[in-house]
Amino acid sequence: MRFAVSPVQHLLIGLQQDSGAPLPARRWWRAVRSRVPARARPLIDLVMANPLYLPDFLTPPMPMDAAGISIADELDVIGAVGADQLQGELARYAELGPVPKPVAQLLDGGAAQLRRLLRGLHALYGACLAEDWPDMVKLLNADVCMRRGVVGEQGTGRMLVGIHRAFSDPTRFELTLAGLAPEVPEGMERTAEAGFVLSPNLFLGGMLSPAIASPWQQPLFVYTASEAVRPPPARVDGLTALVGKGKAAALRAIGTGCTTTELAVRLGVSAPAASQHAATLRAGGMITSVRDGQRVVHSLTPLGVGLLAANPL
């Protein structure tokens, strides 16, 4: 048994927006869908092609690494998938019904279409997950450390019970899968190593997502990361919610008054950017600006003072 942490798994689970999709995944999608790049369309079409199945080669179990698993690491492994595995896993769609168009395109396009898919995956990560991923990794690693501690103190069986009710009996595992579980083709030996992989996920909302039928890789169980390792929710900043993070910081930085140059220094931005923030706050009636020789001095209006008083940090 080993653990793995995966940005790709989070993206693929987040894209599965059918009626049975986990609530955290749906919330993530609502927050990022306006930023989804056009080149991610082939990937989205493939993920949504059939709610009962997703090819295992898209979620290769990646070993834990002290430096952390990067999106590039995973894309390299996915891009190196063998032709037999690619064709074999995509052929599974024909057993579930008519072959969806994005699957047929991947079957016909081979390596070139796979590279297009990976470019879309990388673009989706950059636009919708990259900024949050370092903080997410801290929570995922904390979950793994906690579970390794349970293994050391109470054994593997007790740790598995804490992952999901399907593991409630350490001597027996039962799981009902939607759709048919493909068997290893006749004459083909399972090439994966013995054992299985556990991967914590923040988008599953209490669910367990298995990938257990591929003869090419170890069985993978993506499970819901423990709530116990998550910090308490941050207090909502009403000022940021009202005017945005940048403008809220600018209003607070102006405080008892400052020039545009001083505002730029306090915010760590360029003078034109500070001037733009000031112009927006002035248009909203939160500050006034008065020219004093070569300088422009900004001061809070009663509205600005009231907003800061109502939303202290």
- Across all residues in the chain, what is the average pLDDT? 84
Evaluate whether 16 touches 9 at the Cβ level (below 8 Å): no
Q: What pLDDT is recorded for position 189?
A: 53
Q: Is the pLDDT of residue 195 over 50?
A: yes
Q: CA 206 to CA 197: how far, in whole Å? A: 18
Please report, in angstroms and rounded to a whole number, the separation of the first and last CA atoms in the chain: 45
The amino acid that residue 40 corresponds to is A
Q: For the whole model, what pTM was predicted?
A: 0.68
216-263 tens-digit pLDDT:
778 888 999 987 666 555 567 888 888 888 899 999 999 889 999 999
What contacts 250, CB < 8 A, 6 or more positions away? 263, 267, 274, 277, 278, 281
Instruction: Please say whether the beta carbons of 304 and 287 come within 8 A.
Output: yes
DSSP state of 37: -
Place of tokens 């006749």: 186
pLDDT > 90 in the chain, percent: 33
- Tens digit of each residue's pLDDT (9 = 90 or more) over 65-109: 555 678 888 999 899 888 888 888 888 888 888 888 888 888 888
CA distance 21 to 151: 31
